[in-house]
Copies of this chain bind each other. A is one copy, B any other.
Amino acid sequence: MSATNKLVRTEEHSGATCVAASEVVALIRDKWTILVLGALVRKDSLRYSEMQRTVGGISQRMLTLTLKRLEENGLVKRTIFPTVPPRVDYELTPLGRTLSKPLKGLLDWSMENRTAMSEARRVYAKGAKKATSR
């Protein structure tokens, strides 16, 4: 994750916006971050195994790494219950909850416009065929 950060920061002349964005971008570039955050937004609080079922298709490794990074960045709160068998709950921190708003904006856009996007792909595919045959 730090590798991505370093690289993006190489070009500071491209505007402060991009530089600042790199951290969040690096976070959501981690494939599962958005899905995990989305799960916590919808379900409010989840334990490890519940989360794995909710997100679906994620390996323990990736779930652990993703949660750890989110916790490390102050977006997710981790609560350990010293029972046996052990139990760990995850929930969004106040900071994480503020992120859910702009994130939701992006997800909403995605839902509203994905048909437009797939339609654009269809048109593009046809155009490419014509252009090639000329």
A-to-B contact residues, CB < 8 Å:
4, 7-8, 10-11, 13-18, 20-21, 23-25, 28-29, 31, 34-35, 38-39, 42, 54-57, 71-75, 95, 98-99, 101-103, 105-111, 113-114, 116-117, 119-121, 123-124
Contact = CB atoms under 8 A, between A and B. Distances in A.
How would you classify the secondary structure of chain A's contact residues: helix, strand, loop or mixed?
A: helix
Which 7 pairs between the two chains have the least Cβ-Cβ distance?
A74-B120, A11-B56, A102-B105, A24-B110, A20-B111, A14-B56, A11-B57
16 contacts: A7-B57, A10-B57, A11-B55, A18-B34, A18-B39, A21-B106, A21-B110, A21-B111, A25-B34, A74-B117, A95-B120, A98-B109, A102-B105, A102-B106, A102-B109, A106-B106
Contact of A108 (B72, B102, B106): B102
A23 B120 contact: no
Q: Which of A16, A34, A39 has the most chain B CB atoms inside 10 A of its CB? A: A34
Contacts of A101: 105, 109
Contact of A24 (B24, B25, B39, B114): B114
Contacts of A55: 11, 14, 18
Contacts of A102: 102, 105-106, 108-109
A123 B20 CA distance: 20
